[in-house]
Amino acid sequence: MKISLDNPDKAILELLQKDSNLTHQEISSKIGVSATSVWRRIKNLEEVGIIRARVALLDHHKIGMKVCVLISVRLVRHGDDTRVEFEKFITDRPEVLECYAVVGSFDYSLMVVVPDVEKFEKFLASHLLAHPLVAESTSVFALRQVKYSTEFLLDS
């Protein structure tokens, strides 16, 4: 279902992506609509699922999660039951922050963040490669983060 966003909705979303702590009044003064309208629009954006959550974004280095690894995974077979089982397994793994089903030589691409190489090795050997649906994986260690954003560009 395609949801149509007007300019005030887009402006609200752009502001909330930068700072979700802004009050309705602060947003109102920045975009030129009433605070009541801002409240109603935000409520609607939450109800239709455009705003999924309001969260605190942590700096993983500052909390001791210093190793970021991008992993490509190939499954042993394909089918709905395989997909569901593997995705449930990945969803339950706290080390995996992102998982994408992909097209190409591999079936999935994961982003794993852990405190150290030893924890990564344990995750890889004891969990990922030990899973019966995983045929192979390739890991790439990130040296440094060049860009990280959670903001989507909205055409205003």
Delineate the domains of the chain, giving CATH numbers in brackets.
7-47 (1.10.10.10), 67-141 (3.30.70.920)
**pLDDT tens digits, 119-144:** 999 999 999 999 999 999 999 999 99
With a CB cutoff of 8 Å and minimum separation 6, the contacts of 95 are 112, 113, 114, 119, 120, 123
pLDDT at 104: 96
| Closest-CA residue to 154 (of 47, 52, 4) | 4
pTM above threshold 0.85? yes
pLDDT band at 1 (very low <50, low <70, confident <90, very high): low
pLDDT at 111: 98
**pLDDT tens digits, 5-54:** 999 999 999 999 999 999 999 999 999 999 999 999 999 999 999 999 99
Indicate whether 156 pLDDT > 60.
no
d(CA 75, CA 137): 9
